[in-house]
Amino acid sequence: MKTMTGLEHSASSVQVGIPAAILKPKKVRRRLDMTLWEKLYVAEIVRGLVVTSKHFFINMIGFIFPPAGKKRKVFTVYYPEEKLTLPPAYRGRPVLVADAAGEAKCVACGLCEKMCPAHAISIVAAEKAPGERYPERYTLDLGRCVYCGYCEEVCPKEAIVMSDEYQGLAQRDRSRLVFEKEQLLRPEGKVKARLTYVRRIYSKWNY
């Protein structure tokens, strides 16, 4: 058996892979070959300056004389005063869905607890009536939560969904990030958009 040094490999008649005649080496265009005009820098720098100055002057004129009727095209959101309306696909912090009676839809099956990759969920199950389970305590540690949405995906009762809430996640004390069932409950109407979205995207796996 031949050793695979480069020399012997090239000398051997055995074709490996696509023959070199077909596989033409592609010339990678990395634009290292600047033209003389580009090498002079000055013209290209002026071209760049024109682009930025154009933005500058258009914005300055719009700033000094705001065009009547339509707003200036600024994409900045003044955060605490203005808030974005997030799309239903956004995975904010998970919340529990309440039924019409205001009780959690959760049946404390423990799938989400088992599924959670960050071990953020812990459930204490109890029985309302014989054979009817409910979560006595449902604790979600948002300091551990990674917002993966597996709990929502695995839940057979649509009882936990990712909401569009993202505030209140900055706390000085980690214990304040541990949310109890009462803090997590949301009426079904509030998470309607997300529920519709979830039904659509997970419909493939619904049996």
Partner 1 sequence: MAADLIESVAKILFIFGVNVGVFAPILGWVERKQSAVMQDRIGANRADILGFTAIGLFHSLADAIKLLTKEDFVPDNASKFFHTLAPFISLVPAIAAFAIVPFGGRYELFGREIHLVIADLDVGILYVFALAGLATYGTVLAGWSSRSNWSLLGGLRASAQMLSYEVAMGLSIIGLIMVYGTLKLTEIGAIQENFFRWGIFLQPVGFIIFMTCAIAENKRIPFDIPEAESELVAGYFTEYSGMKFIMFWMAEFLEMVTISAVVTTLFFGAWHIPFVTDAMLLSWFAPAGPNGAAALAMLVNIAVFFAKVSFFIWLQMTIRWTLPRFRYDQVMRMCWKMLLPLSLINLSITGLVVLLR
Residues that bind partner 1 in the complex, under the rule CB under 8 A: 42, 45, 48-49, 51-53, 55-56, 59-60, 63, 73-76
Instruction: State the minimum distance, in angstroms, from the CB of residue 167 to partner 1.
Output: 19
In one-letter notation, the amino acid at residue 201 is I
Q: In the bound complex, what is the minimum distance in angstroms from residue 45's beta carbon to partner 1?
A: 7
- Beta carbon of residue 51, minimum distance to partner 1 (angstroms, whole number): 8
Q: Which is nearer to partner 1, 45 or 118 (CB)?
A: 45
Q: Which is nearer to partner 1, 60 or 124 (CB)?
A: 60
User: Are the beta carbons of 142 and 120 closer than 8 angstroms?
Assistant: yes
With respect to partner 1, which residue has the nearer C-beta, 37 or 63?
A: 63
**Least distance to partner 1 from the beta carbon of 35, Å?**
16
Query: Do the Cβ atoms of 174 and 204 come closer than 8 Å?
Result: no
Question: Which residues participate in the annotated binding site for [4Fe-4S] cluster?
Answer: 106, 109, 112, 116, 145, 148, 151, 155
Binding site per annotation, positions: 106, 109, 112, 116, 145, 148, 151, 155
We find the least distance from the C-beta atom of residue 59 to partner 1, in angstroms, to be: 5
Q: Which is nearer to partner 1, 41 or 118 (CB)?
A: 41
Give dist(CA 57, CA 51) in Å, integer: 10
Strand order in the sheet with 94-98: 160-162, 94-98, 185-187
Helix (H, G, I), strand (E, B) or coil at 54: helix
- DSSP line for 63-107: HHSPPSSSPP------TTT--PPPPTT---SEEEEE-TTSSB---
Strand partners, 134: 126
Sign, Cα dihedral of 152, 155, 161, 166: negative
Closer to partner 1 at the Cβ: 82 or 132?
82
